């Protein structure tokens, strides 16, 4: 199927891309436009293609002036400052800077290849300035990129799992499929995601707590490709226990819950653990910048469970959730429904309410409306939970993607353990995102990293093969 010319395919592909998500398709398109023969292998069936890209909505892009899809300006300096804040400096600053610089090209580049964007968002979340939203979401983006790739002659094969990367002294000959067949290629670009769907691997970093995690992302990201790379002497990057972990509704499915399972209401109430105790500042920052920390926070609580408690005013301040909140006319009744101790829950709410300042909150800014005398304090948007009915959301850690991956250079070449770049092996997307995201998260930056390094990998692979646009036979 792959190694003969019977079906018109070359005996040896110029570029083989593993994974048909955002990063993989950007790499495939870039290489194909440069004149390469390109094969994309996707483990999922066609209807479930695209990895975590299926669940995305936007990417984060710098721009010096307003565009058709972004308002005002979002400078390199501000973007970099935001990234440094959430990662606390745990990043490769060279690759981070490259990501931000190249992000300025993405909306126009994607638009020219059929991706449509929404008009810039308005409202209080400030996202219209920093994030460009895909019209129709991640699935629409995938469909557009797949159509464009196929129009360029890119071959996309679904239900095709890569079991092993064939590497000898840093040189990749191709891949071995789960069925035993080998696929040779001159250049290989790995964009197969991480290992968030492999709970046993997650448990190596998180211990038994991992068994209570829900996987917000695709069930096909089991880490097979990453493990093969590491087994063959590729240099790892990032920590095993670092990941994009969001507080999601505990009623979400075990796998593939997607973005709709997230609970955005944390800043407008309080969060209690199973013992009805607060454990972190719910008003630390706006959710686009800091919501990702709550997955890790809940993961650190007993039984990896927590509960967001809000009143009728707080519940109206954020987008409705997919799951109906648990509701009761009294705090004690709500506690019973959630499985919390009613007296302890009442005491936690009363203590919080007594510590809240007078006056309204302003959710459009960090308003400084802070509690006084609590541990931990709530530093913004501290409004009493006093207007019935009362609402509760059970929360669990929802793992979207992992940060431990492979180290790359500015050409997206994978580095071996001795620091040498592989001659023909590249990485883009989640599998190398830990170079930029050592910890923390900025809304939309995962898609940005994937698109930027996908384009870099595809361009470098084509350049090293001396391909030119219009080349048609490279077997």
**Alpha-carbon gap, residue 109 to 375, rounded angstroms:** 48
Residue range 311-364, pLDDT digits in tens: 999 999 988 889 999 999 999 999 999 999 999 999 999 999 999 999 999 998
**Alpha-carbon gap, residue 18 to 157, rounded angstroms:** 10
What's this model's pTM, rounded to 2 decimal places?
Answer: 0.90
Domains in the chain, CATH or no CATH each: 13-241+403-464 (3.50.50.60), 249-398 (3.90.700.10)
Which residue ranges of the chain lie beneath pLDDT 50?
A: 1-8, 124, 473-475
Bin 220: left if φ > 0, else alpha if -120 < ψ < 50, else beta.
alpha
Alpha-carbon Rg for the chain in angstroms: 23
**pLDDT at res. 293:** 84
**Alpha-carbon gap, residue 458 to 291, rounded angstroms:** 33
What contacts 77, CB < 8 A, 6 or more positions away? Answer: none
Q: What is the 3-state secondary structure (H, E, C) of 200-255?
A: HHHHHHHHHHHHHCEECCCCCCCCHHHHHHHHCCECEECCCCCEEEEEEECCCCCE
**Alpha-carbon gap, residue 212 to 35, rounded angstroms:** 47
DSSP state of 349: H
Residue range 16-34, pLDDT digits in tens: 999 999 999 999 999 999 9
Q: Which of these, 106, 76, 144, lies nearest to 447 by C-alpha position?
A: 106
Cα 444 to Cα 385, 421, 449: the distances in Å are 32, 28, 9
Strand 162-168 to strand 405-406: parallel, antiparallel, or no bridges (unpaired)?
unpaired
Q: What share of the chain is helix, strand, coil (3-state, %, to 5)?
A: 35, 20, 45
């Amino acid at each position: 199927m792959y190694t003969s010319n019977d079906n018109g395919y070359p005996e040896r592909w110029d570029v083989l891309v593993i994974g048909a998500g955002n990063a993989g398709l950007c790499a495939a398109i870039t290489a194909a436009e440069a004149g390469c023969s390109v094969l994309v292998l996707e483990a999922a069936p066609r209807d479930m293609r695209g990895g975590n890209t299926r669940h995305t909505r936007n990417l984060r892009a710098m721009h010096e002036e307003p565009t058709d899809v972004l308002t005002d300006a979002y400078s390199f300096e501000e973007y970099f400052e935001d990234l440094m804040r959430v990662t606390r400096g745990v990043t490769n600053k060279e690759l981070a800077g490259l990501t931000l610089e190249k992000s300025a090209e993405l909306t126009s580049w994607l638009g020219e290849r059929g991706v449509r964007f929404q008009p810039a968002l308005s409202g209080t979340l400030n996202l219209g300035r920093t994030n460009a939203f895909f019209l129709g979401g991640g699935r629409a983006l995938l469909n557009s990129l797949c159509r464009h790739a196929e129009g360029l002659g890119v071959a996309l094969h679904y239900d095709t799992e890569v079991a092993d990367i064939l590497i000898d002294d840093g040189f990749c000959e191709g891949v071995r499929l789960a069925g035993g067949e080998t696929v040779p290629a001159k250049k290989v670009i790995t964009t197969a995601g991480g290992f968030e769907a492999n709970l046993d691997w997650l448990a190596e970093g998180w211990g038994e707590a991992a068994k209570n995690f829900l996987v917000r992302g695709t069930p096909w990201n089991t880490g097979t490709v990453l493990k093969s790379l590491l087994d063959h002497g590729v240099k790892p990057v990032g920590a095993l226990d670092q990941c994009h972990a969001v507080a999601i509704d505990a009623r979400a499915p075990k796998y593939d819950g997607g973005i709709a399972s997230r609970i955005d209401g944390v800043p407008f109430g309080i969060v209690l653990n199973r013992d009805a105790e607060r454990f972190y500042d719910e008003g630390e920052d706006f959710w686009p910048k800091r919501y990702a920390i709550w997955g890790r926070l809940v993961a650190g609580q007993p039984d990896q469970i927590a509960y967001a408690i809000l009143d009728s005013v707080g519940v109206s301040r954020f987008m409705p959730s997919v799951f109906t909140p648990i509701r009761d006319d009294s705090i004690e009744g709500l506690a019973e429904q959630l499985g919390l101790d009613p007296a302890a829950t009442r005491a936690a709410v009363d203590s919080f309410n007594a510590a809240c300042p007078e006056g309204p909150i302003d959710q459009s800014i960090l308003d400084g409306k802070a509690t006084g005398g609590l541990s931990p304090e709530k530093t913004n948007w501290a409004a009493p939970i006093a207007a019935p009915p009362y609402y509760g959301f059970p929360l669990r850690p929802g793992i979207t993607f992992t940060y431990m991956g492979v180290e790359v250079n500015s050409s997206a070449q994978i580095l071996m353990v001795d620091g040498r770049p592989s001659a023909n092996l590249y990485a883009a997307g989640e599998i190398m995102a830990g170079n930029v995201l050592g910890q923390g998260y900025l809304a939309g930056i995962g898609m940005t990293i994937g698109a930027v390094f996908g384009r870099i990998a595809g361009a470098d692979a084509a350049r090293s093969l001396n391909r030119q646009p219009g080349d048609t036979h490279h077997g």
